[in-house]
Structure 1
Amino acid sequence: MPMWPLTEDHERLRLLVREFAKAEVAPRVAEMEATQAVEREVSALIAKQGWIGATIDTQYGGMGAGHLAKTLIIEELSCVSPAMGAVIQASQLGAAKIIRYGNNWQRREWLPRIADGSCLPTIAVTEPGSGGHVLGMQATAKREGSEYVLNGRKCYVGNAHIGDVHGVVVRTGSGSKGLSAFLVEEDRDGLSLLPHEPAMGLRGFSCGELVLEECRIPASNRIGREGDGLAIAYSSSVLYGRPNLTAVSLGIHQALVDETVRFAQDRQRYGGPLSDLPTIRGKLGQMQSRLMNARMLAYHAVHLLDQGTACDADLINAKYIGVETALDSARTAMEIHAAAGLQTNRPIERLVRDAFHTYAPAGTGDIQLLRLAETALGKTHSDWSAPTN
């Protein structure tokens, strides 16, 4: 099975994003932490770099660079600010449904604006009463002539307060064939947002709740056919949600290692740096090993995706291992920092909080294990990454 190759283009892109993050994002992190408000200015600046269009075809103004390039972009931003890495990953996820299921008009209408950063898309699937159980959703869309009328609520919508168009999956019928997807512009009558509520981590990132009350949209805003909603939700989660969250966790993991190594080298104990102690070196080695393994799985999975190889299980496994090992390293980092890790004037405390935000989106660890068990048992029903004719 082919392994991932990082080309010169990949390395140039990594360096470009890294330098941008250090120059433009790093100086704003302290303010984002202090205010806990939605960071609009930096989010817009990041979008204007064109990175949301990493997987958008060049004919629509995108980079056409693929999923490995997308991973590098998210990872490098997340190493400096996981909140801003989350901004770009959420909008790339929002673009997925148009890339894969949009018709020619929808692609021409939306993808160029997404690619140049003038339009931030979101995806809205989760509901307060159903959580990750997609088929349990209650929000509805009813056809009335040339329009649909939408009602219901969607929660945990990434970029909710800065999004320009929301990809909403709602019920148009019963059962698994009764879900459909729609594009709802942020200024539509009947669409409102609940106020931003700061979370434990990812401060600066918007993750809000949409309220749809007799919200009318033209039938041309439906993505795909009626009944395609489940496929749109699942494929977006597998092909974009999981690898994107994996990339965020990689950036956090790298920052955890960097900060902990810096601390261990600077802190003096017993006449020398803390890093001279064998027990500390063992912990640092453990963190580095976890990071290297997580990165290898992540890059390999998205390389397969770029090659058109069926790789759902690889993407799922990369998300599971990437998040779990980052959380393990967060604890190890706190063990090395000891009481110093509890101080809010050090990055480690922020990184630990941010790491927990990668666990639930696109499926918790339990969900990933369930899907991997289905693979082991030969009971998988769909492979969204398989080539389509």
Structure 2
Amino acid sequence: MPTTSSAPDPTPDYDALVQHFDEFAAEEVAPRVSHMESSPHTVERELPRLMAEQGWFGVTVPRQYGGMHAGHLAKTLVIQSMARASGAAGALLQASQLPVSMIIHFGSDEQKALLLPQIASGDTLLSIAVTEDKAGSHVLGMETTARRNGSDWIIDGSKAHIGNSHIANVHCVVARTAPADEAGSRSLTAFLVEEDRKGLTVERHRPALGLHGFSFGQLTFDGVRIPEANVIGEVGDGKDIAYSSSILYGRPNLAAVALGIHEATLACTTTFLSERERYGGTLSDLPVLRDRVADMKSRLMAARALAHQAAVMLDHGQSCDGELINSKLLNDEWAVESGQTAMRLHGAHALRGDYPLQRLWRDLQHMNAPAGTGEVQRQRLAETEFGPPPVQWSERLAAKTSLFRLTSTAS
């Protein structure tokens, strides 16, 4: 059984962190939004460099590797602050965290010693490449393959919707290493693929509906050769690595992005109603409109509580897979519901291309699919009530996930 440390780590100064996050968002993120929106074909490259200088890519990386070791609540707060200023900035930061979890949870001692200090210093940015066009959220349905060739592996296939695809230095790729009908859940393996590997092509950036400036593109692998040392974990661990990263990092990260956009949506709406003159006063004086805003505020408060509480539980090494899943599900749905209300309260004003609400609404549409749609989240929650309980990744990986020294191996 793990032992309890007699000298637990001090609680981070979250108030000071939030103040710093918000100042950075005001000074560095907000001034770039207009350019990012007017240049949808361009990938924003300066912002990730500035975030890297802050050490935020290593927010959950242990101190022994040079990271902030500030935990999942701090990670949620920084993503939330960035997303409040720009959904694309929040998406950029959240996507940088998923592959970090792969290294922390499953990487070898050599991989941790090599990559985690580079991530913490901002010298190396990682992406996670699991999704494919045909398979979508069906991880076991992927077709990208990796086959042994002597002491190396050769990867062929393609990955789609890869966050930070155009700016990452190393891609964490999950590929098929055995037929699904033979190996079942052990048919996938995770690999580190450096950006300069021969045969790796990063397809050109194509702008999407929202998150302008954020890179989420396609990677093509044509006989990409990598050494055995680039295998993450053990051969056959790919499904576990993908699932645990999605639950412990992907879902709370996306909840944080949706939460930040939700906050910006409410702020935009209250400002508009307070300044719009009607009937000898302003729209904010009308009880029927105040009732709508109260609904938005209620949803936001509940969404914030869900996101923060799930992150706190994760930091304390508590079993919280369900809370993480529910946080992603409801932060997305409630933000979209408030966004729809905001669009209606603004009337035709919401449709102006130079008005922030239409950007917030477009950005929100990107929150549902990643890490599983709302339907997928509901299926996962239902699994906790029927049949044998699913693997609790927050429990299984608590020693490497918790911020505080609740176990002998947390650092």
- Does residue 1:25 correspond to 2:24, yes or no? no
2:261 and 2:210 map into 1 onto residues whose CA distance is 12
Structure 2 equivalent of residue 124 of structure 1: 129
1:204 Cα deviation after fit: 0.4
Structure 2 equivalent of residue 296 of structure 1: 305
Q: CA deviation at 1:21?
A: 0.6
What are the equivalent positions in structure 2 for 1:38-77 lying under 5 Å apart?
A: 38-77=43-82
Q: CA deviation at 1:378?
A: 4.5
Aligned residues: percent identity? 52
Runs of 5+ in structure 2 lacking a partner? 1-10, 400-411
What are the residue-to-residue correspondences of 1:1-389 with 2, within 5 Å?
Answer: 9-36=13-40, 37-175=42-180, 176-388=185-397
TM-score by length of 2: 0.92
Q: 8 Å contact 1:241–1:362 — kept in the other structure?
A: yes
- For residues 347-389 of structure 1, give each alpha carbon's deviation from its aligned partner in whole angstroms, at most 9, with x where no partner exists: 1010000011111101100000111111122543211110447
Q: Deviations over 1:43-92 (max 9, x none)?
A: 21112210111110001110101100000000000000110111110011
CA deviations on 1:137-174 (whole Å, 9 max, x unpaired) are: 01111111221000000000000000110000001112
Question: CA–CA distance in 1 between the matches of 2:195 and 2:73?
Answer: 30
Q: Which amino acid aligns with 1:214?
A: G
Structure 1: runs of 5 or more not aligned: 1-6
Are the aligned partners of 1:47 and 1:88 in contact in 2 as well (CA < 8 Å)?
Answer: no
- In the aligned structure 1, how far is the partner of 2:199 from the partner of 2:162? 17
Letter in 2 for 1:292: M
Tell whether the 8 Å contact from 1:309 to 1:386 is kept in structure 2 after alignment.
yes
How far apart are the structure 1 equivalents of 2:110 and 2:126? 16
Question: Offset of 1:193 from its aligned partner?
Answer: 1.1
- Which residue identity does 1:108 align to in structure 2? A
Partners of 2:114 and 2:152 in 1: how far apart? 19
Q: Which residue identity does 2:38 align to in structure 1?
A: A
Q: Is the 8 A contact 1:124 1:155 kept in 2?
A: yes
Write the distance in 2 (CA, Å) between the matches of 1:22 and 1:380.
Answer: 44
Checking the alignment, whether the CA contact within 8 Å between 2:12 and 2:70 is kept in structure 1 is: no
CA distance in 2, matches of 1:117, 1:349: 33
- Cα distance in 1, alignment partners of residues 193 and 340 from structure 2: 41
Distance 1:362 1:166 in 2: 17
3-state DSSP of counterpart to 2:394: coil
CA RMSD of aligned residues (A): 1.2
Instruction: Give the conservation status (yes or no) of the 8 Å contact 1:309–1:387.
Output: no
Letter in 1 for 2:25: A
What is the distance in 1 between the residues matched to 2:102 and 2:145? Answer: 19
How many residues end up aligned between the 2 structures?
384
| Contact 1:60–1:108 (8 Å) recurs in 2 | yes
SS in 2 for 1:22: helix
Counterparts of 2:177 and 2:296, CA distance in 1: 48
